Amino acid sequence: MRLRATVELWQKGNWFLAKIPELDFIAQGKTMEEAKSNLNEVINIQIREMKEMGTLDEYLAECGFVMRNDTAEPENEIVGFEKQLLQVL
């Protein structure tokens, strides 16, 4: 199975965080590459466990994914990010 998703990369102090917001999966590492590699490991573990429990299809549907051939694709796409300074009352 393939998974089409957005990977966000953040830096928090000396650590890098890799996150898939659509699935709420996150991992960290000392470098961006290590964080992405750790995220891939988290994804594989979680997907394998959900398959074994028989809950994968339900979880993906709840997260807004549909299966097309062998690929889980989000029904809605994240189309951008903006950093803004907002005035709050």
Domains, the chain: 2-74 (3.30.160)
pLDDT of residue 65: 95
Low pLDDT (below 70) residues in the chain: none
pLDDT at 80: 83
E strand spans, the chain: 2-3, 8-12, 15-20, 25-29, 65-68, 71-74
Question: What pLDDT does 15 receive?
Answer: 98
The pLDDT score that the predictor gives to residue 77 is: 83
Instruction: Give the distance from CA 4 to its chain's centroid.
Output: 9
pLDDT of residue 46: 96
Q: What are the strands of the beta sheet with 8-12, ordered from one edge?
A: 8-12, 15-20, 25-29
pTM for the whole structure: 0.84
Residue type for position 39? L
